[in-house]
Structure 1
Amino acid sequence: MNFEDYQYLFKFVLIGDTGVGKSCFLSQYVKGKFIQEYDPTIGLEFESKSIEFNDGIVVQNQLWDTSGSSQFMAIQKTFCQNAAAAIIFYKIDSQNSFKSLENWINILKQVSSDMIQIVIVATHQDQENQRQVQTQQGRNLADSIDAKFYEISNHDKDQIDGIINSLSYNVLRLINSNKINPLNTQYGVKMSRQQEQQYASQLDNTDDNIVQQQSSPNRRSLDMKQEQNTISPNKTTASPQRPEQEETEQNQQQNKPQLQLIFILLPIIIAYGLYYILL
């Protein structure tokens, strides 16, 4: 499989104290090999593995194994940035490794996005007789930060595969629900060139639909204006009748005094005529 044989690339970081089983977890997932002898990581290690989901989407998981030593704290913070998911480790037979989880969680809060997927993994489940941390303690801590919780044995590859596959599925679901923008590097996601072109095309189609939806009320308003314009000519043709009516009313008002004057003068004229006749 070449570098571009995937749709998405996810960045996962593995953090926790030295000796909690991060490197063994990584080896089992990528190579299916359990590391017998403890060999502390210096700085960081990097491995990748691709998985294909039922819908044909191929995801390449990049897993960064950071050293748990305090002298590499600067490197740990740097590589926790822009991560899609983080797996925090402690071992059930070490109370100190469990107490250190608070420090690792604080590092994630400082440098990661608010959409990072977090999993707490308790290793050495096969060493129950040496347990120092109860299962409920780990589960309570995970619940307090809205994280998944697992107790595992690094001998169990199926369990390890299930954890990574579940994380990949959750990140992919956030992308599909538009809660993660795969073009924004802060979310620890990268798309192949082909997938990026398809995603950009989908965004363009979405923008066109939004524009069409926004423009439809404007067309309706234009229709309403046209309806108003079809009505308004009737109003304008009726308006010239008003001045004629007003002129008639004015003439009638002007004629009223003349008629009144005639009615007043007529009896006087008749009286004078009778007076001269009688004389």
Structure 2
Amino acid sequence: MAGGGGYGGASGKVDYVFKVVLIGDSAVGKSQLLARFARDEFSLDSKATIGVEFQTRTLTIEEKSVKAQIWDTAGQESRYRAVTSAYYRGAVGAMLVYDITKRETFDHIPRWLEELRAHADKNIVIILIGNKSDLEDQRAIPTEDAKEFAEKEGLFFLETSALNATNVENSFNTLMMEIFNTVNKKSLSSAESNNPGSLAGKKIVIPGPGQEVPAKTSTCCSSA
């Protein structure tokens, strides 16, 4: 298991930790997406992931330091079935990744989604990612097909390229912002049900180290 990334801010203080899981068939580029986002790296000589590893990167959302703890697992999931429940436990976000040049990787997405929903929290935020958009001349899955599936299942959707970094930042930032807002809405809902007139002293517990969620929402975020 590997960890990486740094802490945001001069003081090293982190306000929230959000666990995000990457799932999908092997060789769709999950590890490359993670490397591009966490370290801005890409390797043409990438080896298959064995077991589970994770990287971290800290973003600033609503002037809070939010640490993304992103877990990556081998696509041949059946060989690592023992890690499944622990892998999904505590995850508040997921990236469901397929390769736009390989039809079978998209055809397997419903199975991955079913497994994710069977093991993860029902409020998990999910984004569907069509990776390797730089290989447009080899495209096997029309963008519209993926978009239609995402809409039907209530997922966010973007096409990315880990090779040239297209939409990689955007996809992770979209996911993290939506997780932040989802947690924030839960906090507001909980606070209002307990005391409609005040938000003071209300907080929500999230997986990992958690702090009080601010009452305001924002649509901006930036990388630290």
**What range is the shorter-chain TM-score in?**
0.7 to 0.9
Q: How many residues align?
A: 193
| From 62, 67, 75, the counterpart of 2:74 | 67
Using the TM superposition, give the Cα deviation of residue 157 of structure 1 relative to its aligned residue in structure 2, in angstroms: 2.9
* Deviation at residue 88 of structure 1 after TM alignment: 0.6
Q: State the structure with bigger RCO (CA 8 A, min sep 6), 1 or 2.
A: 2
In the alignment, what sits opposite 1:154?
Answer: 162
Q: Do the aligned residues in 2 keep the contact of 1:20 with 1:97 (CA within 8 Å)?
A: yes
Query: 1:13 Cα deviation (Å)?
Result: 0.2
Partners in 2 of 1:135 and 1:82 — Cα distance?
Answer: 31
Question: Deviation of residue 50 (structure 1)?
Answer: 0.4
| 2:54 aligned with 1:46 | yes
Larger Rg computed on CA atoms: 1
Question: Residues 153-187 of structure 1, C-alpha deviation per residue, up to 9 Å, x if partnerless?
Answer: 112436211111111111111222226887445xx
Q: Does 1:103 align with 2:111?
A: yes
- Alignment of 1:117 with 2:125, yes or no, is yes
More helix by share: 1
- CA distances 1:169-206 after superposition (whole Å, capped 9, x unpaired): 11111222226887445xx4531xxx35x88xx9xxxx
Matches within 5 A, 1:199-278: none
Q: Deviations over 1:122-148 (max 9, x none)?
A: 111111121111111111111111001
CA distance in 2, matches of 1:91, 1:4: 36
Q: Aligned partners of 1:183 and 1:9: how far apart in 2? A: 13
Q: CA deviation at 1:15?
A: 0.5
Contact preservation (8 Å) 1:183, 1:190: no
Aligned pair 1:190/2:190, yes or no?
no
Match of residue 207 from structure 1: none
> How far 1:77 moved relative to its partner?
3.8
CA distance in 2, matches of 1:118, 1:47: 19
Q: Which runs of 5+ in 2 are unaligned?
A: 1-6, 191-202, 216-224
Going by fraction, where is strand more abundant, 1 or 2? Answer: 2
Task: Quote the Cα distance in structure 1 between the aligned partners of 2:85 and 2:127.
Answer: 17
Give the alignment's Cα RMSD to 1 decimal.
2.3
Gaps of 5+ in 1: 203-279
TM-score, normalised with respect to structure 1: 0.64
The structural deviation recorded for 1:93 is 0.8
TM-score of the pair, normalised by structure 2: 0.78
Aligned: 1:163 with 2:163: no
- Cα deviation 1:232-266 (Å, max 9, x = unaligned): xxxxxxxxxxxxxxxxxxxxxxxxxxxxxxxxxxx
